[in-house]
A = this chain, B = another copy of it.
Amino acid sequence: MSGTARYSPGVTQRNLPDERRPANDGPKAAARNRAALVAAAREIYAESGLSAPLSAIARRAGVGQGVLYRHFPDRAALALAVLEENVQQIEQAAAADGTDAARVLGVLTWHQTESTAFVGVLHADGADSRSGTPAYAQALSRRVERALRRHLPAGHRLGARPEDLMIAIAMVSGAVTGPTREQRERRALAAWRLLGVEVGPVRPFAT
């Protein structure tokens, strides 16, 4: 990645002379490419926002533009793939032994401070009948909700009304601004405190 083949005057650009192509590793490469694209997207989104050029993501992933389209038919599909990984971590945190609401919220908060994608896409919940992300984003949203709700103790601040939980998450996302992750984490924690909600350590889920 990085290369950014700039301007090389006088040297006719041409492909590798037909032999010695980067090697076609067959179907095994497909999964690897998909993963690389999601990882690259995560980075690029963090750096440049959700509307970063797709070509930048493909370049960072070290694949051609076509591969991106093969795996993700549109911009939203890629963003959702990033989100999917986040949601899976939250679900895993919720499924872990001896966990509790605070711990799950810590993982959630980690992803909020880490990835812009999380912030922007998930809260397109409700009747967002726009183009790309119809049902899937809602499904993700519900999965996050379910993962959290099963750990909410009776009488928890966010358990009173059904929508409160997701509104609270949206609120914290709104507070998460600032150029560095540290600053964003500080603000996220301040936000949870204002909501009177206790949050465990802010970090990704890892077994």
Residues of A within 8 A of B (CB): 1-15, 27, 30-31, 34-35, 48-51, 53, 71-73, 75-77, 80-81, 84, 88, 116, 119, 123-133, 136, 157-158, 161, 163-164, 167-168, 170-179, 183-184, 187, 190-191, 194-196
Q: Is the CB of A177 within 8 A of B13?
A: no
Please name 6 further chain A to chain B contacts, defined as beta carbons within 8 Å, in addition to the given A1-B179, A164-B190, sorted by A numbering. Answer: A2-B178, A4-B132, A11-B131, A12-B35, A126-B179, A128-B178
Determine the distance from Cα of A27 to Cα of B179 in the docked complex, in whole angstroms.
41
Q: For A170, give its contact among B127, B128, B177 (CB under 8 Å).
A: B177
Known contacts: A173-B174, A178-B126, A187-B167. The answer to whether A77 contacts B7 by CB under 8 A is: yes
Q: Is the CB of A126 within 8 A of B177?
A: yes
Q: Is the CB of A9 within 8 A of B77?
A: yes
Q: Is the CB of B75 within 8 A of A6?
A: yes
Q: Is the CB of A31 within 8 A of B51?
A: no
Q: With a CB–CB cut-off of 8 A, which chain B residues contact A3?
A: 48-49, 116
Determine the distance from Cα of A88 to Cα of B143 in the docked complex, in whole angstroms.
42
Q: Is the CB of B80 within 8 A of A9?
A: yes
Q: With a CB–CB cut-off of 8 A, which chain B residues contact A132?
A: 4, 11
Determine the distance from Cα of A71 to Cα of B35 in the docked complex, in whole angstroms.
31
Determine the distance from Cα of A129 to Cα of B180 in the docked complex, in whole angstroms.
12
Q: Is the CB of A175 within 8 A of B178?
A: no
Determine the distance from Cα of A3 to Cα of B6 in the docked complex, in whole angstroms.
24
Of A175, A183, A191, the most chain B CB neighbours within 10 A belong to A175
